Chain A
Amino acid sequence: MDNFDPAQAFYLLATALFILGIKRLGKVKTARSGNQLAGVGMLLAIVVTLVSPGIGIQLDWTMVAIGLAIGASIGALMARRVEMTGMPELVALLNGIGGLASTFVALSEFWGRKYGATITPENVILGPDVWGVAVVLSVLVGTITFTGSLLAMAKLSGKISGNPILLPMRHLLVAGSLLGGLALGYLAAFHQGSFDPAIMILGLTACAAVFGVISVLPIGGADMPVVVSLLNSYSGIAASMAGFVIGNPLLIVAGALVGASGMILTIIMCKAMNRSLGNVLIGGFGGDAPTTGGASATEYESVKSAGAEEAAMILDAATSVIFIPGYGMAVAQAQHVVKELGEELESRDVTVRYGIHPVAGRMPGHMNVLLAESDVPYEQLWELERINGDFKTTDVTVIIGANDVVNPEAIENPQSPIAGMPILNAHESGTVLVIKRSLSPGYAGIKNPLFERDNCYMCFGDGKQFLTEILAELKEN
Chain B
Amino acid sequence: MIFLLMLFVFVLAIFAGNELISKVPPTLHTPLMSGANAISGITIVGALMCAQFGAEGSAAKILGICAIAFATINVIGGFLVTDRMLAMFQSKKKKK
Interface residues of A (CB under 8 A from B): 1, 18-19, 21-23, 25-28, 31-32, 34-36, 38-39, 41-42, 45-46, 49-50, 53-54, 57-60, 63-64, 66-68, 70-72, 74-76, 78-80, 82, 84, 87-88, 90-91, 94-95, 97-98, 100-102, 104-105, 107-109, 111-112, 115-116, 125-127, 130, 225, 228-229, 232, 235-236, 238-240, 242-265, 268-269, 272, 356, 358, 363-366, 368-369, 372-373, 375, 377-379, 381, 383
Contact = CB atoms under 8 A, between A and B. Distances in A.
B interface: dominant SS: helix
A235 B9 contact: no
Given A60-B61, A101-B70, A125-B2, 6 more contacts: A31-B89, A71-B76, A72-B72, A76-B76, A107-B63, A272-B26
B61 to A, nearest CB: 6
A358 B30 CA distance: 11
Contact of A64 (B25, B39, B48, B82): B48
A378 B3 CA distance: 48
Interface of A, helix, strand, loop or mixed by DSSP: helix
Max count, chain B CB within 10 A of own CB: residue among A100, A127, A250: A100
Given A25-B35, A373-B88, A254 B42 contact: yes
A22 B20 contact: yes
Contact of A50 (B10, B23, B48, B82): B48
4 residue pairs, one from A and one from B, having the closest CB atoms? A71-B72, A260-B17, A67-B68, A364-B29
B42 A105 contact: no
12 contacts: A46-B45, A67-B67, A87-B85, A91-B34, A94-B78, A105-B64, A107-B63, A109-B53, A109-B60, A116-B54, A246-B49, A253-B9
B86 A54 contact: no
B37 to A, nearest CB: 5
Given A26-B20, A70-B72, A238-B43, A64 B51 contact: yes
Interface string B10-36: 110111111011111111111111111
B65 A28 contact: no
A58 B54 CA distance: 11
A53 B48 contact: yes
A62 to B, nearest CB: 9
B13 A260 contact: yes
Given A23-B20, A79-B81, A126-B2, A46 B44 contact: yes
